[in-house]
Amino acid sequence: MIRTILGLHAGAGEHGVHSVLIDIPDQIGLIRPVFRMGMFQPFPPEVCHWLTKAGDKPSRESRYFDNACKIIADQFSMLAMSTIKEAKLNEESIFAVGCDSSLGAMEGSRRYLAFRGWGPGQDISQTTGLSVVCINSDGDAGRSSSLDPVFAYPGESMFAQGKEPVIMLHLGGIIKISAFAPRLPSLTFQAGPCASLFELIFNSESTALLGVDFLSKRAVQGKMQQPLLDKWFNMALRSMPYGKSKNRGDCTLFLEEIQAGQKDFDVEDQLCSAHHFVVDLIKTQMEKIPSDYRSGRYLLTGSHARNGFLRHLLGLSLSGKKLELIDSSGIPAPSWDSFSRAVVAGYALDGVSPPTGTPRTITRPLASFYPGSNASWGKCLRWMERHSRQAG
């Protein structure tokens, strides 16, 4: 049996929703999903404008918050139905929908802080009749990135059983680095902010519509300011736990310090320096990866994987390494986050438990479920019951 799962995601640096459709075969062991198609839908201008102000005041207390939630949930539902229609499928063909339990979760975005604890899952199930799997990826400070399924499962399903090492550099709201090699355990961890830093500097409601190339061009117009980089690295040392005994790089405190600081440089200089800062963060963390993982492919994923200036700087920093977009494996780079949510939704339906780390995370389920129509939810229940018997 082939299950078709729809993944949805909205994250830092992008004022809109990405969708993907994937096919997951019913098989034992690691499941290699097949990407079918992806789409993007920007939020309406009024929501984009409100999001740019979200980091400047307690936006959740504003009168517009409930209306923003409704509009954003409608955009998720509309894109879900548009994607199904574009693929020439019907609702009965979709096994389930995967998305985050909290909008903008794990993105480090100042714009999405108001949505902590709110996600569109329930609205999607009620509007579309599709059953929704909400991934619990809310960035618990007690959980290490290496134990988070949204970091680990999608890359493992694609590359852990390959014949050569693969290093994945995810350039989304935050930097995520994963490494895979034959007969070796998978490695995955955060490395600091990426799009969440860019959006903090260039806080414009039109950023998403202009795209990452626009930010790249603005960054090229500026100059790298070493005093600014030194200042940021000093902040990062205080805010982001990069010590050997800690494996989670939480950029939230760092971004709070950036936001509270004075803007002593032009926006172009800040953007240029921010690109250099992101590359330096990646280079610092890459040095911790054992050499056995570094001799193969280097793949870029995420919304800023297509940022030309960032890729150029990465190429210079990782001299001798050929950088590939994940597009070469059949998945558009900006779609990786929504692809990940679809993959993890499949694992949740299979009854897979998340890896356990600290006592705070042991009892935390991988996902929560919002039933859709009787037919949709009945299909999920029968699947979960079957796999529960097989596991028992």
Domain boundaries, the chain: 2-140+336-391, 145-334
Grouping H, G, I as helix, E, B as strand and the rest as coil, residue 308 is: helix
Contact 260, 239 (CB under 8 A): no
Contact 5, 338 (CB under 8 A): no
Within 10 angstroms of residue 290's Cβ, the number of other Cβ atoms is 11
- 17 Rama sector, left if φ>0, alpha if ψ -120 to 50, beta otherwise: beta
Output the six-digit token pair for 48: 């984009």
Q: In degrees to the nearest 10, what's the CA dihedral of 217, 218, 219, 221? A: 90
Domain pair 2-140+336-391 / 145-334, same fold: yes
Full pLDDT tens readout for the chain, 392 residues: 789 999 999 988 888 999 999 999 876 555 689 999 999 999 998 888 888 876 656 566 778 888 999 999 999 999 999 999 999 999 999 999 999 998 876 688 888 888 888 999 999 999 999 999 999 865 543 344 555 677 778 888 888 888 899 999 999 999 999 999 998 988 888 888 999 999 888 877 665 556 788 889 999 999 999 999 999 988 888 777 544 434 344 677 788 788 776 667 889 999 999 999 999 999 988 988 999 999 899 999 999 999 999 999 999 999 878 999 999 999 999 999 999 999 999 989 988 876 554 444 445 688 999 999 999 999 999 988 887 655 54
**Architecture of 2-140+336-391 per CATH?**
2-Layer Sandwich (3.30)
| CATH code for residues 145-334 | 3.30.420.40
Task: Give backbone dihedrals phi and psi of 322, rounded to 5 degrees, phi first.
Answer: -85, 125
> What's the pTM?
0.90
Only one residue has tokens 């980089």, namely 229
Output the six-digit token pair for 345: 């939704």
Output the six-digit token pair for 7: 């993944």
